[in-house]
Structure 1
Amino acid sequence: MNTNSSSLDKNVNSYDYHLPESYIAQTPVTPRDHSRLLVVDSPTTHQHQHFYDLPQWLNSGDLLILNNTKVIPARLYGHKTTGAAVEVLLLEEKEQNCWLALVKPGKRLQVGAKIQFSSRFSENELLQATIIEKDETRGGRLLKFDLPEDTPLMSILDKYGEIPFPPYVTDTEANPEQYQTVFAEKSGAVAAPTAGLHFTDELLGRLAEKGINQAQVTLHVGMGTFRPVEVETITDHKMHEEWIDVSEETMAKIRETKAQGGRVIAVGTTVVRALEGAVAAQGDLKGFCGKTDLFICPGYSLQVVDGLITNFHLPRSSLLMLVSAFVGRERLLSLYESAIAHQYRFYSFGDAMLILDNT
């Protein structure tokens, strides 16, 4: 893994690249595992494959770590009591039925404003929320939903909300299930762990037959994952906190894998952040449940992860910087140039990369 860094690696402008808009995938390929896979198999070479070729690049005894988070129907459309239309994107539940959210139009939604949402199944079934506080750091609002204590919003959210696609997906034929992994289990994310979208049940079965083991973590992806780094020196960037759950069972599988010479392959940047964040919090390979604000960029020495499956990421994003910690910024940008030259599809519904530990 590349652990060296230079002054250029610290400058946010060094993580920019030009991507023609037509390369931003609007709809995923079907079947899921027919997306393309750029395999980074040595410090100097890479191969153009398909995701269904993944088993040939992994060894018996390797361990795949999957993020089992599930995207919630976090986008709600409603009206103020005056009749003005309102759009709400739920981000995080702060306490029972009290949610941090992004709202549009923000300037017109001050503390005390009430919003009504109609059920998608019955216009007569209404849900009301009151704005009780402004969140100055993210430009959001704290919404208190008018529900009985024994009725959590999550239990009825399917009636009122929609699965939120990323902001750059503007013309899609995708259905909400295509923005969930086949192993999604624990509700709480407002964005999908997109590297996991390429897996099918059949491919997971083929991997298991080859002796490639699997374990899971939970990291509920937030909208901060799409935000560009806005400071000039990236080490000044304050990473958004995310809640992670890495079980002792998963850590035991990691310890066993490493003891037997196998590789730990993270499926997605969220898994890297969960595993490395757990070790940063605990000091060793032990289970951890809590929040992490770990920022991984060139110069960071990876403690757990030996390889990475990941999609192609936005310029100037913290995710691009995290992947640069594996192969170096210059190499990563040259790989992106190759992907563009070979017409790969980018971002959440796009193609994938596999970075192996011998890079």
Structure 2
Amino acid sequence: MVSALPFINPLDFKFELPAEKIPDRPLPERDLSRLLLYRKGEIEQSVFRNLSDFLPARSFLVFNNSKVIPARLYFRTENGATIELLCLQPTDSETTVEGLTVQTWRCIVGNLKRWKEGVELMITTKNFHFSATITRRGGEENEVKFSWTGKLSFLEVLEKLGHIPLPPYMHRDADEMDTERYQTVYASVSGSVAAPTAGLHFTDNVIESLAKAGHEKAYVTLHVGTGTFKPIKTENVLEHKMHKEFFEVHKELIEKLLERDTVIPVGTTSMRTLESVFHLGNQFLNGNEQMFVEQWVGFEPRIHSKKECLNALLNWMQKHSTDKIVAETGIMIVPGYSFQICQGIITNFHQPESTLILLVAALVGENWRKIYDYALLNEFRFLSYGDSSLLIP
């Protein structure tokens, strides 16, 4: 299947991004970020708090309600070496941060060579003991088993001992301000190690203005991993290995998607979730009920309609007496992809040669460069604490 896809050179998505375009602090007010508007080939600009004025009539916005967890932990060995752990995600979909029992997570380990085989690292506080043991050593990722005393959830342990993991390009540690501002105002399901940053511009007032203007909203959950920052290092984009992330969608969302014509995801994670929902339904109709959406599934022949695929998911939920679907996706959206659910996107400005810029190019075509040239020339701010864009092809 992949061999049938066109060669895509990541260098075709390269541009110069000066360091001064990447803020390491947010603006004092979330909704005062600038908003680039791209609609049907035309570009203009406004302020984010005016978003509702520019959306297509009766837009259906889909937000990712995942919440960033303080996933960075520091341990000390008996010899005084510091071991840094970044918890990425549980090793199985049944485990959540609210769990009260022993958990095994995939982790990035800093100073791994100083963590000897079989050694249990400990943090002792007045109220509980917390330990970490490597159960599997890998390349970039390792599996680490955590255990603790006391009647605490894993999330409560992280909240007491962990730190918010800011993106590497901020070149600083998180402080008290980030605890609030590196979260969306609607974040409710803990599990991400990076913020779904397109949502950082929304305030309660902006969300209220959407309803007043006749727009509707719903939520998905996709826990964002560090793979979102992983650069493409292969000569051909098709050789890049996309990261996998868990997502959760509810019956109510599927029903609304059947009724709505203009679906605008807030962020690339919401877009990848929505498109994965379609392909999961398509898999079900083809007799494949594995709860995983493959990387290049979007380039397989599409046999079934949107309506058929969404109804397949509703039928699956009824059959299994549940009102939600939890699955994993590795979907990669690149130029040539045919969108099945989404008609546009609200998103920040992304790094060159990244999977995210490829997703933007898949949506708006060659005009992605026109958009980014405009943003750079007009002093828009890039990446997590940067400005926003509304892209309607």
Identity %: 39
What is the match of residue 53 of structure 2? 56
- Determine the C-alpha separation between the residues in 2 that align with 1:237 and 1:161: 31
Which residue, out of 292, 295, 318, partners 2:355? 318
Which deviations, in whole Å up to 9, do the C-alpha atoms of 1:268-319 show, x marking residues without a partner?
Answer: 0001100101111112123642011111000000000001000111111111
- Amino acid paired to 1:156: V
Q: 1:140 to 1:81 in 2, by over 3 A?
A: farther
Alpha-carbon distance, 1:106 to partner: 2.3
| Superposition pairs of residues 226-237 of structure 1, within 5 angstroms | 226-237=229-240
Post-superposition CA distance 1:199-225 (Å, at most 9, x none): 000110011111100000000000000
Aligned to 1:17: 15
The one-letter code matched in structure 1 to 2:220 is: V
How far apart are 1:152 and its partner, in Å? 4.0
1:29 to 15, 27, 31: 27
Aligned to 2:106: 100
Where do residues 6-155 of structure 1 align in structure 2 (5 Å cutoff)? 10-43=8-41, 45-94=42-91, 96-117=102-123, 125-136=128-139, 139-147=140-148, 151-155=152-156
* C-alpha distance in structure 2 between counterparts of 1:302 and 1:30, whole Å: 36
Unaligned runs of 5+ in 2: 93-101, 283-308, 315-324
2:333 corresponds, among 272, 296, 300, to 296
TM-score by length of 1: 0.90
Aligned-pair distance for 1:126?
A: 4.1
Partner of 2:167: 166
CA deviation vs aligned residue, 1:54-76 (integer Å, no higher than 9, x gap): 01112442100000000011011
2:215 equivalent to 1:178: no
Counterpart amino acid of residue 267 in structure 1 = V
Deviation track 1:57-116 (CA, whole Å, cap 9, x = no partner) reads 124421000000000110111201222112111101125411111111122224323323
| Alignment match, 1:277 | 276
Q: 1:148 to 1:142 in 2, by over 3 A?
A: same
Worse-superposed segment, 14-23 or 218-227? 14-23
Contact 2:130 2:149 in 1 (8 A): no
SS at 2:336 equivalent: coil
Mapped contact 2:221–2:248 kept (Cα < 8 A): yes
Which residue identity does 1:235 align to in structure 2? L
Q: Distance in 2 between matches of 1:126 and 1:82?
A: 19
Q: Tell me whether 1:248 sits opposite 2:251 in the alignment.
A: yes
What residue identity is the alignment partner of 1:160? L
Contact 1:78 1:118 in 2 (8 A): no
Q: Report the counterpart of residue 97 of structure 2 in structure 1.
A: none
Q: Which moved more, 1:189-198 or 1:141-150?
A: 141-150
The 3-state SS of whatever aligns with 1:76 is strand
Which AA in structure 2 matches 1:225?
T
User: How far apart, CA to CA, are the structure 1 residues paired with 2:151 and 2:105?
Assistant: 16
Alignment partners' CA distance in 2, 1:106 and 1:331: 44
Corresponding position of 1:157: 158
Change (3 A) 1:113 1:17: farther
> Are 1:355 and 2:391 matched, yes or no?
yes
Q: 2:241 aligns with which of 227, 238, 243?
A: 238
SS of aligned partner of 1:344: coil
Please name the residue that 2:301 is paired with. Answer: none
Give the TM-score, by structure 2 length: 0.82
Give the Cα separation in 2 of the matches to 1:59 and 1:332.
20
Shift of 1:130: 1.3
Q: Kindly indicate whether structure 1 or structure 2 has the higher relative contact order, using CA contacts under 8 Å at least 6 residues apart.
A: 1
Computed over aligned residues only, the root mean square deviation of the Cα atoms, in angstroms, reads 2.0
User: Are the aligned partners of 1:24 and 1:350 in contact in 2 as well (CA < 8 Å)?
Assistant: yes
Task: Tell me, yes or no, if the aligned pair for 1:59 and 1:211 is still in contact at 8 Å.
Answer: no
* Structure 2 match to 1:332: 368
Which residue identity does 1:101 align to in structure 2?
C
**Separation in 1, partners of 2:64, 2:135:** 33
8 Å CA contact retained: 1:97, 1:147: no
User: Residue 219 of structure 2 corresponds to which residue in structure 1?
Assistant: 216
Contact 1:118 1:160 in 2 (8 A): no
CA distance in 1, matches of 2:236, 2:146: 40
Q: Deviations over 1:239-291 (max 9, x none)?
A: 11111112221111111112xxxx10000000110010111111212364201
- Structure 1: gaps of 5 or more residues: 1-5
Deviation larger for 249-258 or 202-211 = 249-258
